[in-house]
């Protein structure tokens, strides 16, 4: 049985407000979602766990976590779509809350006045779920995949706790990030994105094969990502660096409509080029927020084109009356 990607040492490195820092209580989770029980067994340490190389097991775990911690009664995604590890996704949201708090005298702004644009929301709709349930924020989720948008809409419509909190929009261009998706006079306190990691389908499949080999879970000639994932979720022509370059180039077009642009950056080699692009584009403040979960090291890069005075004016106009 594969070991979970979130052992106790790994979880200690998570954000202090992350509700998933403790070990999974599989007995309680199985009560929430009985189907999870068929995947639970003792691991090599004699502890209850699941096979984290099995996408069906991961999806069942996600259903249980979303129900127990976020009040999501109905959540499902089609076979092959990304079922992301929820603890790591929650970390991103909580660090973004701190980012907003850093320009608000340390107080995290909450409620529907805070608007977040989630680029690449996916069929799973994870970031809007966590962000709204944890902080009451409102979300616009975008994706180039019409099936992902349709499924995400079904999730929102099936859970009354999300009513009026999440708007899903299809991005008609396979290359645009922000262009063509926002409406006139729309402003966002945050944008967030988990960019496609790989540069091609072959690269994504090779990575999955390496993981299967390391875990000893190879089941045949066709690699199976343990968290699933469609091409747009896993790879983009030119990979993460090209995607983020394009995101930076487009961000300057919306420099007055967005307080903080943010993105996860998995590869440290991507950072120098991104920093150079943001400097050239005139970003006023660029921050790198480290994220670590066990052996996996990632980071959030955040940037703004607004000066300290403009940020203060933004805060007073949008959050002061909350």
Phi, psi of 72 (to 5 degrees): -90, 110
Does the structure show a pLDDT above 70 at 196? Answer: yes
Non-local CB neighbours of 214 within 8 Å, separated by 6+ positions: none
pTM for this model (two decimals): 0.87
Q: What is the pLDDT of residue 175?
A: 87
Question: How does pLDDT run across 209-239, given as a tens digit for each residue?
Answer: 444 444 454 455 444 454 454 454 444 667 8
> Span 77-318: which CATH code?
3.40.50.150
Distance CA 140, CA 119 (A): 8
Summarize pLDDT for 138-191 with one digit per residue, the tens.
999 999 999 999 999 999 999 999 999 999 999 999 889 999 999 989 999 999
Q: What whole-number percentage of the chain has pLDDT above 70?
A: 82
Which comes out higher in pLDDT, residue 316 or 7? Answer: 316
What residue spans define the domains of the chain?
A: 77-318
pLDDT tier at 294, thresholds 50, 70, 90? low
Whether 6 shows a pLDDT value over 60: the answer reads no
| H-run or E-run covering 89 | helix 86-101
258 confidence band (pLDDT: 50, 70, 90): very high
Which residue's entry shows tokens 């994504």?
Answer: 204
């Amino acid at each position: 049985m594969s070991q979970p990607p979130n052992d106790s040492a790994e979880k200690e490195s998570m954000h202090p407000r992350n509700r998933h820092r403790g070990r999974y209580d599989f007995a309680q989770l199985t009560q929430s979602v009985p189907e999870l029980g068929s995947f639970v067994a003792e691991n090599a340490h004699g502890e209850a766990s699941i096979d984290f190389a099995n996408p069906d097991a991961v999806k069942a775990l996600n259903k249980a976590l979303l129900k127990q911690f976020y009040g999501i009664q109905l959540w499902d995604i089609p076979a092959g779509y990304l079922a992301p590890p929820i603890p790591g996704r929650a970390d991103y949201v909580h660090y973004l809350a701190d980012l907003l708090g850093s320009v608000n005298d340390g107080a995290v702004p909450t409620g529907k006045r805070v608007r977040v644009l989630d680029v690449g929301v996916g069929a799973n709709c994870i970031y809007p779920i966590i962000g709204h349930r944890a902080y009451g924020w409102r979300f616009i989720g975008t994706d180039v995949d019409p099936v992902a948008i349709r499924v995400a809409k079904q999730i929102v419509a099936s859970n009354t706790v999300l009513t009026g909190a999440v708007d899903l929009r299809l991005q008609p261009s396979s290359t645009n990030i922000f262009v063509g998706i926002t409406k006139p006079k729309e402003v966002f306190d945050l944008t967030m994105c988990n960019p496609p990691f790989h540069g091609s389908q072959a690269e994504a499949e090779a990575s999955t094969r390496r993981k299967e080999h390391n875990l000893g879970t190879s089941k045949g000639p066709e690699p199976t990502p343990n968290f699933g994932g469609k091409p747009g979720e896993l790879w983009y022509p030119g990979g993460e660096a090209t995607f983020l370059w394009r995101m930076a180039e487009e961000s300057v077009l919306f420099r007055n409509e967005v307080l903080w642009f943010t993105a996860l950056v998995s590869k440290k080699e991507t950072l120098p080029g991104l920093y150079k692009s943001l400097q050239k584009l005139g970003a006023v403040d660029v921050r790198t927020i480290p994220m670590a979960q066990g052996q996996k090291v990632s980071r959030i890069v955040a940037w703004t084109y607004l000066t300290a005075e403009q940020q203060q004016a933004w805060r007073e106009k949008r959050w002061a009356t909350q």
